[in-house]
Amino acid sequence: MYCVSEERRPRAREIGIQTGIFSPGELNSITDVSGVMVGHCTVFHGEGKLVPGKGPARTGVTSILPHSGNVFREKVPGAACVFNGYGKSVGLQQMNETGTLETPILLTNTLNVGIVADALVEWCIERNDDIGITTSTVNPVVGEVNDGYLNDIQGRHVRKEHVFAAIEGAKPGPVEEGSVGAGTGSSCLGWKGGIGTSSRVLPESLGGYAVGVLVQSNFGGVLTVDGVPVGRRLGRFAYRDHLEDSSSEPIEEDGSVMVVIASDAPLDHRQLRRLAARASLGLARTGFYGSNGSGDFFLAFSTALRIPHEGAGMLNADLVANDAMSALFLAVVEATEEAVLNSMLRATTVVGRDGHVVEAINIAELLDVMREFGRLVR
């Protein structure tokens, strides 16, 4: 149980790639939304031939907390949008029914969802011993991608202790990105994917609200960076083996992506669901197209309102007007796009089970293509 540590790779803005029109927050991270915390626990052991149930393990768990308090006791408005439902996520239906998020959001791999959800329930019960006895049960929220190309996914190597470590290690401030936590075994657009994050802060004239996005990228398509057809230029894209004579290994066309959106704008469930839906547009800017076997789940929550568990009667809150939502939509699109790019740029090459290798994108080659199209900020 440890985090892979290699020489630090840059984020998009550090190498002159700037997308969108709005400015990022101080950290350019989901944690620019005040109160939000992120934690990872990476499970990385073994090498060589796959022994189901034993390894090699290339996986992990990532936690996103809306605030540092007891989320079950102080819920926040939340919503989920399913773009393509080929996935195994837990808790989204009740979150949409009640309009609230009452646990940390956890991300992991497909076959580990049950164990992670069970551990999250146990973690909540330890802090709320009335759950299911004198008060309601708890709705754990868990998302996933399939990391089975690199990871012994049958082994379900993420255990209770890893879940607890990811939650209890969550903190504000800079977020570790790339091949870490739930992104350890993921691939994206022909290269190594992983965890990525970005943010936008609206001008005061548009409300001054912060929007932060965290992605777990694991999908196929044709990599596009700030409108530049990088995947095509570098010869890695979905269906290449059907379109061109090539002896190279085919690029995975399917895959999945989890997108978690946080904002300090006062929004209710209906507005948050609209916000979540815009993640698909940010993903599309990167070359994502939502394949048949892609599980694409987008979650959004607001930190502007705490909803007491024991509350009864009326909730009074001022909300953003519909006509003021458009700038928030664009902020989500921009931050989602940049979060995907950061997930790939920060990711390191990983060798997994049976010697499978997913390479980190070559930054020098990427920059050559961007210069060719005149898209680097000097």
The separation between the first and the last C-alpha atoms of the chain, rounded to the nearest angstrom, is 40
- The label of the residue with tokens 């927050």 reads 25
SS3 assignment, position 178: strand
Q: Comparing C-alpha atoms, which of 8, 122, 112 is closest to residue 62? A: 112
Q: Does the residue 1 lie in any domain? A: no
Q: In this predicted structure, what is the pLDDT of residue 5?
A: 37
The structure tokens listed for 331 are 């902020």
Q: Does the residue 2 lie in any domain? A: no
SS3 assignment, position 155: helix
Question: Which of 63, 179, 186, 294 is an active site residue?
Answer: 294
Query: In whole angstroms, what is the distance from residue 100 CA to residue 302 CA?
Result: 10
pTM for the model stands at: 0.95
Give me the DSSP letters along 50-115. -BTTTB-EEEEEEEEES-SS-TTTEEEEEEEEEEEE-S--BSHHHHHHH-EE-S-EEEEEGGGHHH
Q: Does the residue 147 lie in any domain? A: yes
Q: Taking the C-alpha atoms of 92, 98, 102 and 107 in order, what is their torsion angle to the nearest 10 degrees?
A: 10
SS3 assignment, position 375: coil
Please confirm, yes or no, whether 294 is among the known catalytic residues.
Answer: yes
Q: Comparing C-alpha atoms, which of 52, 147, 194 is closest to residue 356? A: 147
Q: Does the residue 170 lie in any domain? A: yes
- 114 is in which domain, residue-wise? 14-310+318-372
Neighbours of 212 (CB within 10 A): 33
In total, how many domains does the chain have?
Answer: 1
Q: In this predicted structure, what is the pLDDT of residue 312?
A: 66
Question: Which of 256, 280, 291, 343 is an active site residue?
Answer: 256
User: How many residues comprise the chain?
Assistant: 378
Q: Comparing C-alpha atoms, which of 260, 265, 273 is closest to residue 324? A: 265
Query: In whole angstroms, what is the distance from residue 263 CA to residue 176 CA?
Result: 20
| Per-residue exposure over 304-318, b if at least 16 CB sit within 10 Å of its own CB, e if not | bbebebeeeeeeeee
**Domain CATH number, residue 115:** 3.60.70.12
Question: What are 316-338's pLDDT values in tens digits?
Answer: 889 999 999 999 999 999 999 99
Please confirm, yes or no, whether 291 is among the known catalytic residues.
Answer: no
All residue ranges of the chain with pLDDT < 70 are: 1-7, 241, 245-253, 312-313, 378
Q: Does the residue 233 lie in any domain? A: yes
Question: Which of 152, 264, 296, 343 is an active site residue?
Answer: 296
